[in-house]
Amino acid sequence: MRALYLLYMESLSIAPEIHGRIAGLGQLYRDGFIRHLDEAKTLGEIPSEADTEAYATVILGALRGIISQWLIEGTAINMAVAERTLAEMITRTFDQRLPPDGKTDIDRKKPIKRR
C-alpha cells in the first residue's frame, strides 16, 4: 500500500514518465466502483437518477484520503472506524434520496402476491 501511494505521489513530481500508468490504474479503480454502483442502481438499491460516475469519484477520493492519513499518521487513524463511518455516510446519502415510502424502483416493479 505504501509503495503504491508513493508511486502516486512520485508520478506527479520526480517520475512523470509513470504518470500515465498510474492514472490508468486510478481509472480502473473508478470503473470498478461505477460497475458496482450501476449494479446497485439496477437492483433498485440506490436511486435510478444517481450519477454513479460522480459517486465513484467521490468514494475513491475519500478512500484515498483516509489511506493517505493512515500512511502518514499510522495508528492515530483507526481504519476500521474510518471504513465503517464512510460506509454509513454513503448508505445514509442514498437512503435519503430514496422515495419517502422507502420502496425502491425494484420494489415497485415486483408483482403483487395474492393469497
Give the residue from 47, 38, 25, 29 showing the smallest Cα distance to 91: 47
Alpha carbon of residue 67 to chain centroid: 13
Tell me whether residue 68 is in a domain.
Answer: yes
**pLDDT tens-digit map of 69-97:** 999 999 999 999 999 999 999 999 888 76
Q: Is residue 103 part of a domain?
A: no
Domain of residue 88 covers 2-97
Give the pLDDT confidence of 2-16 residue by residue, as tens digits.
898 888 889 999 999
In a domain, 113, yes or no: no
Distance CA 37, CA 30 (A): 11
**Residues 71, 102: contact at Cβ < 8 Å?**
no
Q: Mutual orientation of helices 52-73 and 19-42 as an angle, nearest 10°?
A: 130
106, part of any domain? no
Query: Three-state DSSP class for 77?
Result: coil
Query: Is the pTM here over 0.85, yes or no?
Result: no
Indicate the average pLDDT of the chain.
85
DSSP annotation of 13 reads: T
Residue 102, in any domain of the structure: no
Q: Is residue 108 part of a domain?
A: no
If one counts the domains in the chain, the total is 1
- Quote the CA–CA distance of 41 and 111 in Å, as a whole number: 19
Which DSSP category does 43 fall into? T
Rg over alpha carbons for the chain, rounded to the nearest Å, is 19
Q: Is residue 111 part of a domain?
A: no
Instruction: Please check whether residue 114 lies inside any domain of the structure.
Output: no
